[in-house]
Each structure stands twice: as C-alpha cells, then as structure tokens.
C-alpha cells in the first residue's frame, strides 16, 4: 500500500489518538463519568488513529480515493 496520509494529517491523528487514549484510561480509572462501553471504544479508535499515523497509510482513505500525502518533485512519496 502506498502512503496516503500527509504530515498535517499525521499530526492531527497523533494528537486526537492521544486525547482519546487518555479519555479511555480516564474512563477506566473512574475519573470521567462516561458509560462503561466508552472506554474500550475510545481505546480502539485511539489505537487505529495512532497506527494509521505511524504507518502513513489509511485503509479507509484507500477505499474512498483520498490522498493527503503530497508528491515530491522526484515523483516518490
């Protein structure tokens, strides 16, 4: 798979993944009063965001034909 996640998109995914991960842990610890189902859902979404930011590839973007990764002058990514 080609990389289809650009630098700004990676930064947003990393920050959002970290915030959701902290929210998941806070829910598990009882510091935030959310339903019990919220903790694993937030955790899974956080892991997906962090994984796609790390790899630079988003399967959903591939299905939808979205590409936020700019092409360099040499033609490689």
Q: Quickly list DSSP for 16-71.
A: HHHHHHHHHHHHHHTSS---TTHHHHHHHHHHHHHHHHHHS--HHHHHHT---SPP
pLDDT at 19: 98
77, pLDDT greater than 90: no
Place of tokens 């991960």: 21
Q: Judge whether 56 lies within some domain.
A: yes
Q: How many CA atoms lie within 13 A of 3 on its CB side?
A: 17
Provide the pLDDT confidence category of residue 2 given band limits of 50, 70 and 90: confident
Q: Judge whether 76 lies within some domain.
A: no
How many domains would you assign to the chain? Answer: 1
State the average pLDDT over residues 27-52: 95
Q: Judge whether 16 lies within some domain.
A: yes
Q: Judge whether 37 lies within some domain.
A: yes
Q: Judge whether 26 lies within some domain.
A: yes
Q: Which residue has the higher pLDDT, 77 or 61?
A: 61
Containing domain of residue 25, as a range? Answer: 7-64
């Amino acid at each position: 798979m080609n990389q289809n996640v650009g630098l700004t998109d990676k930064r947003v995914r990393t920050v959002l993944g970290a915030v959701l991960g902290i929210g998941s842990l806070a829910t598990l610890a009882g510091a935030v009063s959310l339903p019990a189902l919220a903790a694993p859902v937030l955790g899974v979404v956080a892991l997906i965001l962090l994984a796609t930011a790390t790899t630079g590839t988003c399967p959903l973007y591939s299905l939808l034909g979205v590409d936020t990764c700019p092409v360099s002058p040499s033609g490689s990514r």
